[in-house]
Chain A
C-alpha cells in the first residue's frame, strides 16, 4: 500500500480522478465533545447565551462538508448529494455525540467531508458553549464507515453494531442537496425498511421511471422483480407501501421523482 497523495518523487500532488469510474460513495464519521453535566443541561434546555446551539452547529457542519476542499490542500471540490449532521446528548457520560454522513455519486470518496463536518460541528459546539465551560474537550473523531470506490467498503470494527434508525429523508439535520437517484434520468427512489430491508438485503434502489409499463405501484413492483429477483420477497407475508410518505396500494399512481417505501406491519409503542 502506498500514499496516493505523494507522487513518484515523494512530493505532494492531487490525484487525477478523471479516469476513475463514478460510483455511489457514502461515508460516516463521528466524534464527541465532553463537557460539564451543567453545561450539557444548559445546552439541552436552550439556556446558553448564544442561543440555539445544536441548530447552529448542524449548519456549521453541513457548510464545512461543502467547503472541505478549501481547508484540506489536496482534496477535490465535490458536489455532495447529501450531508446529514446529527447530535446525541449523552447525559450518562456528560458529552454530545456528533455524527455526519456524506454522500455523492462521483469519482472520489467523501470521508474527508464527513470528518470535516464532525470536526467543525464540534468546534462550533465549543464556541457556542465556551462562555460557561472552557474545559470542554473534543475527541474520538474518526471514520465509522465508507462505501463505494476502488478501495472498497470500510467499517470500523469492535464497535457496538450500529442500529439504522434513519431509513428515509426528512430527518432533522438532513439536507437534501439535489440528487436523489443514482441515475440522471427521471426515477423513482425505492426504500425497503426494517425487517424487509434485512430479509431482501436491499436498502435503497432507484428505478428509472421509463422501466415502468404503467405509472403505478403495481407496475413498480413488477419492474423491481424484473431488475432483481430478491424483490420476489415483496409478495411474502404482509408488506405495506407508502408513496411520498403516505400509505398507498398497488393502484396508487406514481410520478417521476416519487419516493416509494416498502415495509412490514408497524410495531411501535
Chain B
C-alpha cells in the first residue's frame, strides 16, 4: 500500500488502520485522524462539497509532508488519504494514520501532518448550499496552526 492516496471513493478508517498494523508487532502507538464534511460551515445548510486538486503536485506535496514528519519523529508508518470530487455532509474527507513506538510521537506527527496538509497541499473546497455555491476562503487560523511547528533558532 502506498503511503499517500488521492481518491474519489470513500475509505474505511478502521480498515486502513488494520492494514497498516498487519503483521507488525513493533508498533506501540497508532493515532488516526478523520476529517468529515460538516453541514454548517461559512453558511448553514451545506448540501454538498466539491474538492478539486492539482494531480501530480498533490501527491508530491503529501509525500513531502510525510517525509518531513518522518524526519522529525521516529515513526514506523504513515498513511495519508484525501478524497476529491463531490462529497455529502457526514462523508469522510481526509484520513491521517501515524504509527510509532510511543504515543507522543504519534500524536504530534499526526497533528503536524494535518496542519501542513491544510496549508500546503493543493486542494480547494467549494461548498454547495441552499443559497448558492461558493469557494471556501483560506483561514488565518490554519496558517497560525502550521507556524506552531517552526523551529525557532
**Residues of A near any B CB (own CB < 8 A):** 88-89, 91, 160, 163-172, 174, 193-195, 198, 238, 242, 245-246, 261, 263-269
Contacts and interface: CB of A to CB of B under 8 A. Distances in A.
14 contacts: A167-B52, A167-B54, A168-B54, A168-B55, A168-B56, A171-B56, A172-B55, A193-B124, A242-B54, A246-B60, A263-B54, A268-B94, A269-B114, A269-B121
Contact of A166 (B55, B118, B125, B136): B55
Contacts, number: 106
Interface stretch (B21-29, B66-74, B80-88, B104-112): B80-88
User: Chain B CB within 10 Å — which of A264, A265, A268 has the most?
Assistant: A268
B93 interface: yes
Interface of B: 8-10, 35, 50-57, 60, 82, 84-86, 93-94, 114, 117-126, 135-139, 142
A238 B84 CA distance: 23
B54 A267 contact: no
Contacts of A163: 50, 52, 85-86
Contacts of B119: 266
A162 to B, nearest CB: 9
A186 B126 CA distance: 35
A269 B123 contact: yes
B135 A194 contact: yes
A268 B53 contact: yes
Contacts of B84: 165
Contacts of A246: 57, 60
A169 to B, nearest CB: 6
